Chains A and B, each alone.
Chain A
């Protein structure tokens, strides 16, 4: 017997400036099932869930709950429909206690005062029902671990009596053990009849937990696969996610690794962030960095690039020690950083794309401090052409380009300075599949020219597809190093969880 649909989303379309994030996407959720939503970064999963959560309103489309059409215009509407969404960035108030967070907006009172004792007691009961009796609900959220915060988020949802629970990358910050506990909790929730939409990059989890899997690609609905008998294979999902065979998705890695190190890091450390980081990078090598979100990968690269000050350690370039105390020092030494968040750190969004490309290369396009228009045009046009930035309009403001083209512009900014080492921090986050493949080719092309590449990514698939070597970071330490012939997702995942 097929259970009835608790949720139907039909023909959902959402356009942002420069990009159609969702194009007539449909999605169904049956009562009591775990329906996984899969797709590469930028496929539209999070946008679809934000529409369900009332953060965005769709341009077109219909949402039905228990067969009735509903309007979700804001987060309150979403809650009224008994939907709860646990976003990657949590919605807890860190200064308040767990109990106060659970009761946020409907606090228990005794006269004019908050009845804290009663709230803690009630909160404790809710958590106990979830098998989390050992969590002290009077503690403030800022004092508890990320994993516990996540459990509190789930507790809050249950406390609010939800029918539909959405989990966006719940395991991205969890260790192996915490993940197991979470899965146990998920099975309990399903048994209680709660329906779950589950987003994860970790496809083993998806095949283990889900009863159905819907795949999105570039904002379009692709297919819904049945996994009632848990027989679904990871490869089937991946092929649909990238829309082609993997051999075509990643460029062929040529052996361009040179002998000797172009960049060498010795004993780099910073209190509370990372300890004893030592590694070497050769010219023409693509070195991947894997690890959980928050493991310290980004902080290490910022320290190398001079935008954060390390407590100690040595940086050598071409075997000579160098002092890097600001990004401009790093650039002079031949380093380039494509930062994690291209909108906040990579681009001046309100500036024309061409100006953005020139931002790190001002001396190249100027004489005596004045910009030489011809030189500027020449460089901008060359990189727009080389990297296939579309549309090829250097005068258009950076914010009006799609994510993939924005990312290409950030990369272009660095290519004109002829760097020896390019550090790319999550360069494919939030961009479409085609642009991803192009970025891989750009990286491969740089390596072939002898540039050393550091490639940070949370997507193991692309690390394994692109890199010569992968270093795994766990809690600010190097937890493992794997050469191409010893790559496997399982090994890297275990190292990343500290095992």
Chain B
């Protein structure tokens, strides 16, 4: 092929890609909603307070959605991520309260996340159980352990580092959002530019072909779930800081929110494809919609109905355009 044709196909490819990609569609949708809200609620929506508020609310979901995206691209699902997050928060609060070195306590919280994730991975690969079953079981185990430790009561925490992570800001940007952006950037780089990321995609796309290409499928999957555990632990640390306490009910429904963000972001439930940027945009879209409904004084219960409908509508539009493209 001569250079001219190549350049032209590449150019048209970029243009086509821009319109065909899920991310740009989501971005447009976000833009439309934000513009609409800025007009409808000029003095409450587009204020730095409200924008940072939205970011604070979506940051934790976006962080664990990065892990969920890896898991779902590898062809699995992690239903334990929310309770794992809560458990990590409880563990670190408990040990801080016990009076040990707070940084050691935080490390124990992270270790908890790693162990839960690693156990998920080991049971999925070695016992050859579906991820749905293993992580559903693990979610219940984590929730049980939380209540065993707390007996249902919050554990208050006032350590300045923990509180700072949850509520502080640098140059008026919330620290937890900075953490989120760093994690999203690293996650996106790993998925698209490393050997590990390519292998995860290959496993989700066709596990047998990946195995026959010499990829150590089990080791790779265990790494994915362990990584997700680490992200859950970071989420756990942040939520303790936000609430000034380890709250036994803190992680409720986070697994569903992370799955929703991931799916709206274009990750296939069947595995093999998906992007981190998509998951971030998915989390942002859902966060902005929730925020807008609050500002518009919509009844709280109806908000939930609206969010549920959005998930279905976005995915239906995607299916439709995909089928049309074929």
**Chain B CB within 10 A, most for which of A350, A358, A395, A413:** A350
Q: Is the CB of B194 within 8 A of A369?
A: yes
B209, CB-defined interface residue at 8 Å: yes
Task: Verify A348–B214 contact, CB threshold 8 A.
Answer: no
Report whether A371 and B273 are in contact in the complex, using a CB–CB cutoff of 8 Å.
Answer: no
A191 CB–B CB distance under 8 Å? no
Which residue of the partner chain, among B198, B272, B326, contacts A350 with CB atoms under 8 Å? B272
Measured in the bound complex, the distance between the Cα atoms of B13 and A358 in whole Å is: 22
Asked, given contacts A350-B273, A359-B202, whether A337 binds B212 with beta carbons under 8 Å apart, the answer is yes
A371 and B198 form a contact (CB under 8 A): yes
Name A415-458 residues within 8 Å CB distance of B.
Answer: none
B273: chain A residues at CB < 8 Å are 350
In the complex, chain A residues whose CB is within 8 Å of the CB of B1: 392
Q: Is the CB of B214 within 8 A of A327?
A: yes
CB pair B213 A350 closer than 8 Å: no
Distance, CA A328 to CA B220, complexed state (A): 13
Q: Is B159 an interface residue (CB 8 A)?
A: no
Interface size class of A (residues with CB under 8 A): 20 to 34
Given known A348-B205, A371-B195, A395-B13, contact A359–B210 (CB-CB < 8 A)? yes
Q: Shortest Cβ distance from B292 into chain A, in angstroms? A: 35
Contact in complex: B213, A360 (CB < 8 Å): yes
B208 adjacent to chain A (CB < 8 Å): yes
Q: Which residue of B lies closest to A302 (CB)?
A: B212
How distant is the Cα of A471 from the Cα of B124 in the complex, in angstroms? 41
Interface residues on chain B, number (Cβ under 8 Å) = 25
B212 touches A345 (CB 8 A): yes
Beta-carbon contact of B194 and A348 below 8 Å: no
Residue pair A307, B194 in contact (C-beta under 8 Å): no
Any chain A CB within 8 A of the CB of B199? yes
- Is A351 in contact with chain B by the CB < 8 A criterion? yes
In the complex, what residues of A have CB within 8 A of residue B196's CB? 369
Chain A, Cβ-Cβ closest to B207? A348
Please indicate the chain B residues that have their CB under 8 angstroms from the CB of A123 in the complex: none
Shortest beta-carbon distance, A18 to chain B, in Å?
12
CB-CB nearest in chain A for B197: A371
Expressed in whole angstroms, the Cα–Cα distance for A327 and B213 within the complex equals 7
Q: Does A362 contact B (CB under 8 A)?
A: yes
Determine whether B41 belongs to the interface, using a CB cutoff of 8 Å to chain A: no
Query: Do A348 and B193 touch across chains, with their CB atoms under 8 A apart?
Result: no
Task: Compute how far the CA of A150 lies from the CA of B226 in the bound complex, rounded to whole angstroms.
Answer: 50
What residues of B have a CB within 8 angstroms of the CB of A344 in the complex? Answer: 206, 208-209
Chain B residues with CB under 8 A of A393: 9
Asked whether A351 and B272 contact (CB < 8 A) given A345-B208, A346-B209, the answer is yes
Q: In the complex, which residues 299-329 of chain A have their Cβ closer than 8 Å to any Cβ of chain B?
A: 305, 307, 326-328
**Which residues in A have their C-beta under 8 angstroms from that of B198?**
355, 358-359, 362, 371
Q: Taking CB as reference atom, which chain A residue is nearest B17?
A: A395
Is A258 among interface residues, defined by CB-CB distance under 8 A? no
Query: With an 8 A cutoff between CB atoms, is A2 at the interface?
Result: no
A348 touches B215 (CB 8 A): no
Tell me, yes or no, whether B21 is within 8 Å of chain A by CB.
no
Smallest Cβ distance from B58 to chain A, in angstroms?
29
Cα distance A372–B201 in the bound complex, in angstroms: 18
Q: In this assembly, does A349 line the interface, its C-beta being within 8 Å of a C-beta of chain B?
A: yes
Check B211 against A347 for contact (C-beta < 8 Å): no
Q: Given B195, B201, B212, which contacts A362 in the complex, CB threshold below 8 Å?
A: B195
- In the assembled complex, the Cα of A359 lies from the Cα of B1 at a distance in Å of 25
Residues of A within 8 A of B208 (CB): 344-345
- Which residues of B sit under 8 angstroms from A307, Cβ to Cβ? 211-212
* Bound-complex Cα distance A363 to B195 (A): 8
Identify which of residues 204-247 in chain B touch chain A, using a CB-to-CB cut-off of 8 Å: 205-206, 208-216
Q: Kindly provide the distance from the CB of A427 to the nearest chain B CB, expressed in whole angstroms.
A: 14
Query: Nearest Cβ distance between residue A304 and chain B, in whole angstroms?
Result: 13
Given A345-B206, A350-B273, A371-B195, 12 more A-B residue pairs with CB atoms under 8 Å apart are A17-B326, A326-B216, A328-B214, A328-B216, A348-B201, A348-B205, A348-B206, A351-B272, A359-B213, A369-B195, A392-B1, A393-B9
Q: Which residues of B contact A (CB under 8 A)?
A: 1, 9, 13, 193-196, 198-199, 201-202, 205-206, 208-216, 272-273, 326
Closest 9 CB pairs of A and B: A348-B205, A331-B214, A328-B214, A359-B213, A360-B213, A362-B195, A348-B206, A350-B272, A350-B205
24 contacts between A and B (CB under 8 A): A326-B216, A327-B214, A328-B214, A328-B216, A344-B206, A344-B208, A345-B206, A345-B208, A345-B212, A348-B202, A348-B272, A350-B206, A350-B272, A359-B209, A359-B215, A363-B195, A366-B195, A369-B194, A369-B195, A369-B196, A370-B193, A370-B194, A371-B198, A393-B9
